[in-house]
Amino acid sequence: MDESNNKENEFDDSVFEDSGDITRTTEDDDEAPLEPRFKYERLEGESTLPFMKTATFTSIDLHDKFIAIGTASGLIYILDHHGYGNFDSVPPLKPHRCAVSKLKFDETGSYILSCANDSKLVVSGVGNDKLCCTVNIQVMPKSICFSPDFIRQQSGHCFIMGERNLVLYEKRLFQYKASNLYSGSERDGFIHCCSWNDNLIAFTNDTGTRVYERGTEKILTSVQPTHDVDRVRSSRCPPKHMWMSENTLVIGWADTVTVLKIKGNEGMRRGEIHHIFHVSMFISGISYLPKNGSDYELFLVGLQMEGEDFDDCASVMSTMTTLTAMESSATAILKTCVIRPLGLKDYELQSEDEIVNIRLSTHTLPYMIHGLGIPYLSTYFILTTKQIIMAVPYGPEDGIKWRLQYKLYTEAFEMAKEHADMLAKTDVSPKKVGRKIIEGYLESKKARVAASWLPSICGDCKEEWEWAVDRFHDAKMSTLLGDVLPDRKPRLDPSAYEKVLLASLFNNVKLFRKLVQTWSPDLYMTSTIIDQTQWRIQQISKSEDIEDVEEVEKILMDALAHLYLYERKYESALKILMICQDFQIFNVIDKHQLFDLVKDQISDLMNINSERALRLLLDNADSVEPSFVMAKINGQPKLQLAYLTKLMSRNEGIEFADKAVQLYADHEKKKLLPFLKKNVNYNVTKARKLCSDRGFVEETIFLLAKSGNHYEAVKMMVREYKNIEKVIAYCKDQNDRDLWIHLLEVVADFPTHFSQLIIEASNCLDPILIMDKLPDDVDIPNLSEALEKLLTDFTNYVELQQCCYDSTLNDLHVLTNNLMIASDKSVSVSLMTRCSLCSQVIMNTGQDMIPRKFNDIKVFKCGHIFHLTCSASEIDRRQMIEDGICIACSDNSDHVNV
């Protein structure tokens, strides 16, 4: 390969100056991009090795400890995974005179098998030379592989080589013996890839991939290619093998991935294809990412051909030469992707990256690119002719940066919080990520969304909140902070709150008023805000460009009143609230006890809200006389009435009772009668004259009755109501016999009601008296029915009286008999019977055990027993109890009477 080609394939060093990511997703901007799984970095030790800048790389192989790199000059360099090499201990190997086409480590990393077009197979030692050898052959080998147990004693130290035939080399005493495992024809093409796992050998030529079993020495299965091998030649796009656990072989060839699993016991094995699918690139390397259980993901490295001159990439692969490539506008793009197999022909693309900062020459073909990995170390390498790139899985820091790049802010912040301890000292700590999110939304003109993020991002951190206030202030969006800015935990500097208040003052007056009312005045300098508010009000009053000037000015005046209250300038605050007719003035007066400042403005308070004004007056009755209030609202009778109603409900304002009657009569007639019934402090005569003059019938009747003029009341009710039921109900309430008689005389002029009155009065008057009051020569409707009802009711009444008399006599007879029976009973006196007065035993015995005589005691039929001396002394003391009457029963009788 000449120097011009090498220069075309140079690596752009500027890409790695800040260790940044060198990938971009291939998804459209309108679609959600796939998150990269890897970041691509240059080896750390590359700068320490001069040959890395000049050599052309042709092959690579990995071991857990080393990287072996073959070059176009035939040298093999042994490096560690970070690109450092100790050439004093392990000097570069020079097994070939031309470009090293293939390299292979044994399982222990002690030996390297290499081949080139110089027809030699060379086993070179890495710190060991016991099994080193060189085998000269007659063909140019295309693929090589060690046996898994190459280094083990008595294993034969075998390795295989593929050209047209698959040849096994087994060490004998002094040399290697070659034996053909498979013989291919010219039609079969070359074996460009072979691999060895346990006793299974896989190899691929143009007719497909075969799996050969050692021991049975037979081919178990064959997988045919699904692409056109004539168009995509194996020399330009060689196949790749990778063995996984459970004898699973993954074959990457051209644009096809095949997963083959060998099943069955030894001697009875067979191959099964589990997956076979096509990808959008020509595969240059294959590895896998282990997952839990049997699940796995495949890591693919390859080239994608793009260009307007080539619609068919397969044609490019078959026809491209150095000359045509230089004349063509087709470009080769180095890609990696991670896929998860699903069904037989289905897979899920997990990530897809284009490594765009590697400048590939226009004639770069898949065989010039190599991709290998050590899955359990999560380390993967990509080799081009001039660069070695290590693919490192994305860590939290890389994931956060990628999410921020694509404005996946929620996911970025959640990941930053999840790994907060790990990222505390990086530029993607939760604090810094939060700031980037806010900046991103502000730059995207989504300030409202940015404000909604602040509680989650800033939390209880004062420094972060103050930064956010400054940032929103710079963006002229401070008003959006009004609803989210904390006022307790944490408490910010006064300047932060003042910025939000002033921004609201000039842009959103309703928000300004809300903040003034809700925020504590301790948060900011109220004097500063008062000055700015006064200036703003003056500015608005002079402006002609502002819509709804009056409403805006009223809102600002309301806010200014609250600010004056915070400054304890109560007179100024009350003056503003009074001008604005603000209902809140009552709360202010109650809270700060400011009634003395407004008692001369009672009428103005009444105009704002009469209910609250009256309550205020009553609550401060000690501070103002009712006469003063009545004088202040003299020209407003309705307010006077409302005030007196409240006042009298508290049993106050007796001297205004007559005034209240007049006000009720003028403005609230419905409430006049309830007032007259409830209140007793008005002048009845004046009230009756007022109601009579106004024609208030019910009120006049009530006042007549209240003054004791029942006859006039009844007469007026009969004449005005013409409804005898109300009159009858009134007479029943009074329960006056003479009133009933008067009613009969009055109703005699209204014959239509006389029958009903006869029925109702029968229970209160003698029927004979009622009969005497019947008018002569007057036709009374339903008179016969009424008289019949009268006589029936009277008869029933007489019978009821007789029955009650008979029942009483019977009860008296029974009670008398019971009394006589009780009086004839004897009274038992025992040794333990006690005196009802002194409670001592009646028949106490003396020292000689001789009981007292019975003439020492007094026994009554009621059962009470007394000592004669106790009874006599008690009768003398009381001097009101006759002899022969039981003292105990007399006491009970007195108690009952009381």
Per-residue pLDDT tens digits for 32-50: 578 888 988 888 888 788 8
At 895 the pLDDT is 44
Backbone angles phi, psi at 475, to 5 degrees: -85, 0
The stretch 612-620 carries a mean pLDDT of 67
Backbone angles phi, psi at 71, to 5 degrees: -120, 170
Is residue 78 very low, low, confident or very high in pLDDT (cuts 50, 70, 90)? very high
Q: Kindly state the helix (H) or strand (E) to which residue 852 belongs, with its residue range.
A: none
At 719 the pLDDT is 64
- Residue-wise DSSP of 427-456: TTSHHHHHHHHHHHHHHTT-HHHHHHHHHH
At 620 the pLDDT is 63
CB atoms within 10 A of CB 670: 7
- Residue for token digits 């008179």? 783
The stretch 72-85 carries a mean pLDDT of 91
Is residue 865 very low, low, confident or very high in pLDDT (cuts 50, 70, 90)? confident
Backbone angles phi, psi at 56, to 5 degrees: -110, 125
In this model, does residue 866 exceed pLDDT 70? Answer: yes
Token pair listed for 264 = 């069955």
Is residue 748 very low, low, confident or very high in pLDDT (cuts 50, 70, 90)? low
Is residue 862 very low, low, confident or very high in pLDDT (cuts 50, 70, 90)? confident
Is residue 785 very low, low, confident or very high in pLDDT (cuts 50, 70, 90)? low
Q: 337: which strand partners?
A: 300, 352
For the stretch 556-561, contacts whose Cβ atoms lie closer than 8 Å and that sit 24 or more positions apart, written own/partner, are: 556/505, 556/509, 556/512, 556/513, 558/513, 558/582, 558/584, 559/509, 559/512, 559/513, 559/516, 559/517, 559/533, 560/530, 560/533, 560/534, 561/588
Percent of the chain predicted with pLDDT > 90: 34
DSSP class of residue 845?
Answer: B
Q: Kindly state the helix (H) or strand (E) to which residue 371 belongs, with its residue range.
A: strand 370-374
At 178 the pLDDT is 93
Q: 203: which strand partners?
A: 194, 210
Write the pLDDT tens digit of every residue in 164-215: 999 999 998 878 899 999 999 999 999 999 999 989 999 999 999 999 999 8
CA distances from 636 to 579, 601, 631, 655, 697 (A): 20, 14, 10, 19, 28
The stretch 119-138 carries a mean pLDDT of 91
Is residue 308 very low, low, confident or very high in pLDDT (cuts 50, 70, 90)? very low
Write the pLDDT tens digit of every residue in 538-559: 888 777 666 678 888 888 888 8
Q: How buried is 768 (Cβ within 10 angstroms: 0-12 exposed, 13-18 middle, 19+ buried)?
A: exposed
Of 433, 490, 432, whose CA–CA distance to 462 is shortest?
490
Least confident span in 105-119, 388-402, 693-707: 693-707
C-alpha 151/C-alpha 157 separation (Å) is 6
C-alpha 87/C-alpha 79 separation (Å) is 9
Contact 413, 433 (CB under 8 A): yes
C-alpha 635/C-alpha 834 separation (Å) is 85
At 12 the pLDDT is 41
Write the pLDDT tens digit of every residue in 709-730: 666 666 666 666 665 666 666 6
At 13 the pLDDT is 39
Least confident span in 73-87, 473-487, 686-700: 686-700
Least confident span in 303-317, 616-630, 799-813: 303-317
In this model, does residue 59 exceed pLDDT 90? Answer: yes
C-alpha 465/C-alpha 434 separation (Å) is 11
At 871 the pLDDT is 81
The stretch 51-76 carries a mean pLDDT of 92
CB atoms within 10 A of CB 10: 13
Write the pLDDT tens digit of every residue in 735-745: 666 666 666 66
> Taking the alpha carbons of 653, 659, 661, 663 in that order, is the dihedral positive or negative?
negative
CB atoms within 10 A of CB 619: 12
Write the pLDDT tens digit of every residue in 569-592: 877 777 777 777 776 777 777 777
At 9 the pLDDT is 40
CA distances from 219 to 239, 314, 668, 720 (A): 19, 30, 116, 129
Write the pLDDT tens digit of every residue in 240-271: 999 998 899 999 999 999 999 999 887 788 99
In this model, does residue 352 exceed pLDDT 70? Answer: yes
At 559 the pLDDT is 86
Q: How far is CA 365 from the centre of its chain?
A: 55
C-alpha 432/C-alpha 429 separation (Å) is 5
Greatest mean pLDDT among 674-683, 743-752, 800-809 lies in 800-809
C-alpha 292/C-alpha 686 separation (Å) is 103
Is residue 328 very low, low, confident or very high in pLDDT (cuts 50, 70, 90)? low
The stretch 840-847 carries a mean pLDDT of 68
In this model, does residue 849 exceed pLDDT 70? Answer: no
Of 432, 452, 443, whose CA–CA distance to 407 is shortest?
443
How much is the mean pLDDT over the chain?
A: 80
For the stretch 216-223, contacts whose Cβ atoms lie closer than 8 Å and that sit 24 or more positions apart, written own/partner, are: 216/266, 216/267, 217/181, 219/182, 220/262, 220/269, 220/270, 220/271, 221/260, 221/262, 221/270, 221/271, 223/251, 223/258, 223/260, 223/271, 223/273
At 671 the pLDDT is 80
Q: Inter-axis angle of helices 409-418 and 447-458, to 10 degrees?
A: 10
Query: If DSSP states are collapsed to H, E and C, what string results for 562-614?
Result: HHHHHCCCHHHHHHHHHHCCCCCHHHHHHHHCCHHHHHHHHHHHHHHCHHHHH
Give the global pTM: 0.60
Is residue 733 very low, low, confident or very high in pLDDT (cuts 50, 70, 90)? low
At 14 the pLDDT is 35
In this model, does residue 390 exceed pLDDT 70? Answer: yes
β-bridge pairing 248-253 and 256-263 = antiparallel
β-bridge pairing 200-205 and 208-213 = antiparallel
